[in-house]
Amino acid sequence: MKVLVVGAGGREHALSWRISQSPIVKEVYVAPGNGGTELENLLTNVEIQADDIEGLASFALENEIDLTVVGPEDPLVNGITDRFNELSLKCFGPSKGAAQLEGSKEFMKDFLKRHNIPTAEYSTFDSTKKAIEYVEEKGCPIVIKADGLAAGKGVTIAHTIEEAKEAINQSLETKVFGEAGNRIVIEEFLDGEEASFIVMTDGAVVIPFASSQDHKALEDNDKGPNTGGMGAYSPAPIVDDYIHEKIMEEIIHPTLKGLRKDGYKYCGFLYAGMMIDKSGQLKVLEFNCRFGDPETQPIMMRLKSDIADLCNQACEDRLSEQTLEWDQRKALGVVMASKGYPYEYEKGKNITNIPQERSDLKVFHAGTKIESGTLQSNGGRVLCITSLGSSVESAQNKAYDALSEIEWDDSFYRKDIGYRAVAREKK
């Protein structure tokens, strides 16, 4: 098979790397890819941006691509799968309609409510006055979310009424998220531990991946603003067999059933972000219509089953019930970011001394590029140093040891990725 992977991040490096190891795959193209995918012998970067749906479709037609796997949400929400299917091209990822689960918080919340799937209590607003009245009535902490896609920055957890008002104003009046913030969802603050649960489905059959957990906050101890994710590990010890079953029964199956009932065909990865409270009750925080970043990196490090074959089967509506094969070790990835991320940061800094790939270590690239033969930073999240170990602690030690070898001025990373899981291991 000839495969095209769409996207430029760490997730796409990890996905395309695994796909390229499949015995049924001959060639793998990554559009546009990054410095890391450029350095891989089995991958070829193609200079087409992930949001250029027509450009990607022309490339797939001209190069007789057998399967396209879409990494990021934007092209999915904008209908890449619908367009590819019109051209009889196989594309793994949900249709535009189904991708609204991620593309619109209002759609997602109304969907959950309609199908009795547990989630935080909420209300939707486009009026600043009404939104402020609601916040004053409910009190703090409270959570303000831009309705549309805001690159992971559209959520504010307000601890004071002033902060809540500021977030409402920023979205509805100042329009810091553009059109994505024309409407907001305001919801109840949930306490507990977060976990990510990712499955793949052809709309009928569903196969769960190993559990994972990411650290969204910028700073150690989960402090500071939210980011796309500063590190992740798999499995997440909080998702034991009991919670796994509960997630499948209370969230995943009802969601897929609800989608079918509402007339949406969902073929692709489905990512549920959940809060699990002390008594083990689950509530959905978000859905993503794609794999997580950086969760993909530790998960692909552990996956032994043939992901290319599975995606292809799903596109042909012949996914069969099966248990995926996993490396039983734990995997953990630490993100190295440009200083200043998630706000302003500089690009174009030289990066050297990246450790060689080993069976238990892989440095996935996200925001990197090769400039005159030199590896340089080219984004906010830049590298994800991912390793396998017999325990989360051992994977953590290996990842940080490898990270300490990397030479790159102006980098930044969290020093405590996996701390909850390590504490659980020690209990």
Contact residues: ligand AMP, CB under 6 A: 120, 143, 145, 155, 157, 187-190, 194, 216, 226, 273, 285-286
Q: Please, what sign has the CA dihedral across residues 185, 248, 233, 51?
A: negative
**How many Å separate Cα 90 from the centre of its chain?**
22
Identity of the residue, 52 or 188, whose beta carbon is nearer to ligand AMP in the bound complex: 188
Q: Which does 306 bind (CB under 5 to 8 A by kind): ligand GLY, ligand AMP, none?
A: none
| 357 CB burial (10 A radius; 0-12, 13-18, 19+) | exposed
CA distance 218 to 224: 5
**Shortest spacing between CB 75 and ligand AMP, in angstroms:** 19
Q: Which does 185 bind (CB under 5 to 8 A by kind): ligand GLY, ligand AMP, none?
A: none
| Residue 209 contacts residue 239 (beta carbons within 8 Å) | no
Q: Quick check: helix, strand or coil at residue 86?
A: helix
**Shortest spacing between CB 189 and ligand AMP, in angstroms:** 4
Nearest Cα residue to 336 out of 36, 104, 80:
36
**How large is the C-alpha radius of gyration of the chain?**
21
Identity of the residue, 29 or 271, whose beta carbon is nearer to ligand GLY in the bound complex: 271
Q: What is the DSSP letter of 248?
A: I
Q: Which does 155 bind (CB under 5 to 8 A by kind): ligand GLY, ligand AMP, none?
A: ligand AMP
Identity of the residue, 135 or 299, whose beta carbon is nearer to ligand GLY in the bound complex: 299
Q: Which residues of 283-306 are buried (b: 16+ CB within 10 A; e: fewer)?
A: bbbbbbbbbbbbbbbbbbbbbeeb
Q: Which does 228 bind (CB under 5 to 8 A by kind): ligand AMP, ligand GLY, none?
A: ligand GLY
Identity of the residue, 45 or 212, whose beta carbon is nearer to ligand GLY in the bound complex: 212
**Shortest spacing between CB 283 and ligand AMP, in angstroms:** 8
- Give the helix/strand (H/E) hosting 207: strand 206-208
CA distance 296 to 276: 21
Identity of the residue, 91 or 289, whose beta carbon is nearer to ligand AMP in the bound complex: 289
Q: Which does 218 bind (CB under 5 to 8 A by kind): ligand AMP, ligand GLY, none?
A: none
**Shortest spacing between CB 120 and ligand AMP, in angstroms:** 4
Q: Which does 134 bind (CB under 5 to 8 A by kind): ligand AMP, ligand GLY, none?
A: none
Q: Which does 214 bind (CB under 5 to 8 A by kind): ligand AMP, ligand GLY, none?
A: ligand GLY
**Shortest spacing between CB 340 and ligand GLY, in angstroms:** 20
Q: Which does 292 bind (CB under 5 to 8 A by kind): ligand AMP, ligand GLY, none?
A: ligand GLY
Q: Which does 289 bind (CB under 5 to 8 A by kind): ligand GLY, ligand AMP, none?
A: none
With a CB cutoff of 8 Å and minimum separation 6, the contacts of 58 are: none
| 46 CB burial (10 A radius; 0-12, 13-18, 19+) | middle
Nearest Cα residue to 67 out of 14, 34, 24:
24
Identity of the residue, 227 or 376, whose beta carbon is nearer to ligand GLY in the bound complex: 227
Which residue's beta carbon is nearest to the bound ligand AMP? 286
**Shortest spacing between CB 27 and ligand GLY, in angstroms:** 27
Retrieve residue 270's tokens.
Answer: 């489905």
Identity of the residue, 216 or 362, whose beta carbon is nearer to ligand AMP in the bound complex: 216
Identity of the residue, 179 or 410, whose beta carbon is nearer to ligand AMP in the bound complex: 179
Give backbone dihedrals phi and psi of 166, rounded to 5 degrees, phi first: -60, -45
Identity of the residue, 187 or 360, whose beta carbon is nearer to ligand AMP in the bound complex: 187
Q: Where are the alpha helices (DSSP H) in 65-209?
A: 73-77, 80-86, 100-103, 105-114, 128-138, 161-172
Q: Euclidean distance between the first and final Cα of the chain, in Å? A: 47
**Shortest spacing between CB 119 and ligand AMP, in angstroms:** 8
**Shortest spacing between CB 273 and ligand AMP, in angstroms:** 5
**Shortest spacing between CB 214 and ligand AMP, in angstroms:** 8
By CB under 6 A, name the binding residues for ligand GLY. Answer: 214, 228-229, 288, 292-293, 295
